[in-house]
Amino acid sequence: MTPTELSITTLILQASLVVQLVMAGLVVISLTSWTVIFGKLVGLRRVRRHNEEPDTAPLERIFASGMREFLKLREKRLDAGAQLDGARRAMRASCQRELDMVESNLSFLASVGSVSPYVGLFGTVWGIMHAFVGLSNMQQVTLATVAPGIAEALVATAIGLFAAIPAVVAYNRFARDIDRIAIQLETFIEEFTNILQRNASQAPAATVAVGSR
């Protein structure tokens, strides 16, 4: 192989079967990772937009779960503390479900970012071993004969890094955005709990006032 033939396509085609399989697997992982990244971008943007409008999901679902539990416990004539605890638990359970949906596939990006470089390194090590085995049968070894085999092997590491770097960057970005969303949901739960607490504390007074009449 002459220096002019050392293109990426030629190196991939000339690589051993194991290295080609590693490269193909990394390409599939990279494409899947980009699909997850774009899907997560759209999903988080939708959640942030909804959180700016209290009458839309997911805040609406958290509100509905808390209010439904609060009214159910009030119908059972439980004390105000039990009503608030039940509503808070219902809202936190709903909040966790919302966060679980937002965090879906996030672990996949973390795995891609941590594993892909090692998979690419495996392909490189295997390719270099294969190249040296082939060089052992040559009487005279020069840089021109060594370079193509090593270059073929290093392509696997390059593809592994190409898959890992965007996944790591996206994971860090999404993790930060999800933390902000979690804080917004927790703030909403606390604010709505305070409203329910005022409502629960006023109920006995209203009952006494009606009874005294």
pLDDT, tens only, 113-165: 999 999 999 888 888 887 777 666 666 666 666 676 777 788 888 899 999 99
**28 token code pair:** 């599939």
Evaluate the CA torsion angle 143, 149, 155, 161 in order and state its sign.
negative
Check residue 208 and give its pLDDT: 33
Mean pLDDT, range 60-67, rounded to an integer: 87
Check residue 56 and give its pLDDT: 59
Tens of pLDDT along 13-47? 777 788 888 888 999 999 999 999 998 888 888 87
Q: Is 29 exposed, middle or buried (0-12, 13-18, 19+ CB in 10 A)?
A: buried
User: Does residue 211 sit within a domain?
Assistant: no
User: Does residue 141 sit within a domain?
Assistant: yes
207 versus 69: the higher-pLDDT residue is: 69
Average pLDDT, the chain: 80
User: Does residue 162 sit within a domain?
Assistant: yes
Tens of pLDDT along 96-111? 988 888 888 899 999 9
Q: Are 47 and 62 in contact (CB under 8 A)?
A: no
Range of the domain at 117: 3-203
Contact residues for 102 (Cβ-Cβ < 8 A; gap 6+): 43, 44, 47, 178, 181
User: Does residue 110 sit within a domain?
Assistant: yes
Domain count, the chain: 1
User: Does residue 114 sit within a domain?
Assistant: yes
Q: Are 74 and 83 in contact (CB under 8 A)?
A: yes
The DSSP symbol for 141 reads -
Contact residues for 144 (Cβ-Cβ < 8 A; gap 6+): 3
